[in-house]
Amino acid sequence: MTETTHQSDSRPDSRLDRVVARITAAITVLLWIGLSVCYAWQPDACAAVTVYPSWCWFGCGVGLALILLRANRRRFALASIGLWLLFLVVFADTPLSLWRGLWKSADPAWRTQAGERVPLRVISLNAHGSSRAVAALEQYEADLILIQETPSVIQLRDISQPLLGEDAGLLAGVDSSILSRTPIQPLASTVSFVIGKVRLQTGREIAVVSLRLTPPPFRSDLWNPECWRAYRDQRILQRDELRTLSRRLTELPADLPLIVGGDFNVNPRDPIFRELPPRLRDAFMSAGAGWGCTITNAVPFLRIDQIRCDTHYQPVRVEAQRAEDTDHRAVIADLLPN
């Protein structure tokens, strides 16, 4: 009698496990397919989804796999984890940078192999309006500093010479600024960016851009259609900002080396980067080392700050370093002239 009672009590649990497993498996497959389509094609209508790094959705997928394990569906759970690992590998931002960060030393061999080529160190930092954040970059001995959410002109003047020497140049804009070891000639300025021409200490002239695109709406209520519209509209606005920049860049001489850096306020695989001139390459993609995410400074989870250069320069090492008195990490890029 006791055995019969025990069997009858176990049947509802077994049925519940089957129901939970089927629902979870269906959600997993639909979510995986939907997200894969969104990240592969990056339509504006899905910007509310792709604004997150792929590992966020990987974490959701692992959570669903744990539910399958709880429902005694081990094979389904392992298959689910395999699918999400594939998703992560395909859509993750530069996973090779983690490997390079492990085996590349802090003082890499390129310093001795550069020969007569003089390296250029470029730093990009969203300073959050803090002159102290900019002044703290002195330890890195930069040649160019691209600043977003810039401190005031007076503050930048006060720190420019102690930071970069007596000949330091300053180009201050509404939201972005440029500091250099040599004087800067202003070329163009808008609310989103400033463009200047710098004659380096080596005598080489380069064009430099510091920019900050419109920030995202900071919403996560994906069940609300207004959230999706807000992210769609933000991408359209950012695309227009980059188109404006690209039009300005086409006015520059084709043989003038170009460096663009700043706070793009967007996932590094976002399609808006197609609006930039094709010759501009993300330096972190080829030479990034370690965890390259820049926001937030305390817990970096997304790489929204970048330094890009054309074929006149070869990136040899790019890192994101903790900064002071700001919510962003600094991007530090060492470039060798070609």
The domain limits of the chain are 2-91, 96-337
Q: Which two tokens stand for residue 31?
A: 């979510």
Comparing C-alpha atoms, which of 144, 209, 205 is closest to residue 176? 209
Average pLDDT over all residues of the chain: 92
- How do residues 29-78 score in pLDDT, each as one tens digit? 999 999 999 999 999 999 999 999 999 999 999 999 999 998 888 899 99
Residue 196's pLDDT is what?
98
Comparing C-alpha atoms, which of 280, 336, 305, 335 is closest to residue 210? 305
- How do residues 150-197 score in pLDDT, each as one tens digit? 999 999 999 999 999 999 999 999 999 999 999 999 999 999 999 999
Comparing C-alpha atoms, which of 102, 57, 55, 85 is closest to residue 302? 55
Contact 173, 194 (CB under 8 A): yes
Residues of the chain with pLDDT > 90: what percent? 82
92 or 133: whose pLDDT is higher? Answer: 133
Please state whether 283 falls in left (phi above 0), alpha (psi between -120 and 50) or beta: alpha
Residue 112's pLDDT is what?
67
Helix (H) or strand (E) run with residue 87 in it: helix 74-91
Contacts of 30 (CB under 8 A, 6+ apart): none
Per-residue pLDDT, averaged over 209-216, amounts to 97
Comparing C-alpha atoms, which of 167, 207, 205, 158 is closest to residue 187? 207
Predicted confidence band at 14 (pLDDT cuts at 50, 70, 90)?
confident
- How do residues 68-118 score in pLDDT, each as one tens digit? 998 888 899 999 999 999 999 999 888 777 777 666 555 566 666 676 788
Q: pLDDT at residue 11 above 90?
A: no
Q: pLDDT at residue 10 above 50?
A: no
Helix (H) or strand (E) run with residue 338 in it: none
Superfamily designation of domain 96-337: Endonuclease/exonuclease/phosphatase (3.60.10.10)
Helix (H) or strand (E) run with residue 76 in it: helix 74-91
Residue 106's pLDDT is what?
56
